[in-house]
């Protein structure tokens, strides 16, 4: 079946450090891949997405590249800020343009210290 595996947290970094959160997936067909962020006490916000192989999603300094050969979608940011502290979820969707159900990884908590 379809699944998503993320690196375990919590991840603790100092401000301006480089961030990588690994995400690998197993899926039939050609899934769309997403990163969602959940700030404390809030719902999920879409951070970025990629819909086909070699696509790079980017937003707010975060990037992730859809790597079909390694079935990965690692999240990176060159210089994290305290405000980036949140839980990050990698997810995949196998739906069509009408929207598909999301399968989430377990989430990775990021804590950025000043």
Partner 1 sequence: GAVVSQHPSRVICKSGTSVKIECRSLDFQATTMFWYRQFPKQSLMLMATSNEGSKATYEQGVEKDKFLINHASLTLSTLTVTSAHPEDSSFYICSAGGQGSGNTIYFGEGSWLTVV
What 8-state DSSP symbol labels residue 8?
A: -
Q: Which is nearer to partner 1, 78 or 100 (CB)?
A: 100
Shortest distance (Å) from residue 4 CB to partner 1: 9
Shortest distance (Å) from residue 82 CB to partner 1: 21
Interacting residues with partner 1 (CB under 8 A):
32, 34, 36, 42-46, 49, 51, 89, 93, 95, 97-107, 109
Shortest distance (Å) from residue 66 CB to partner 1: 14
What 8-state DSSP symbol labels residue 48?
A: E
Q: Which is nearer to partner 1, 17 or 87 (CB)?
A: 87
In sequence order, what are the residues at sequence separation of 6 or more whose Cβ sits closer than 8 angstroms to the Cβ of residue 57? 33, 35, 48, 49, 50, 63, 64, 65, 66
The terminus-to-terminus CA distance of the chain in angstroms comes to 41
């Amino acid at each position: 079946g379809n699944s998503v595996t993320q690196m375990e947290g919590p991840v603790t970094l100092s401000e301006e450090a480089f961030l990588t959160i690994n995400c690998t997936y197993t899926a039939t067909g050609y899934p769309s891949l997403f990163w969602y962020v959940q700030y404390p006490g809030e719902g999920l916000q879409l951070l970025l997405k990629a819909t086909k192989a070699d696509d790079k999603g980017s937003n707010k300094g975060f990037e992730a590249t859809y790597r079909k050969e390694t079935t990965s979608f690692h999240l990176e940011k060159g210089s994290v800020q305290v405000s980036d502290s949140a839980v990050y979820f990698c997810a995949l969707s196998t739906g069509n343009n009408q929207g598909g159900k999301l399968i989430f990884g377990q989430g990775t908590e990021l804590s950025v210290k000043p």
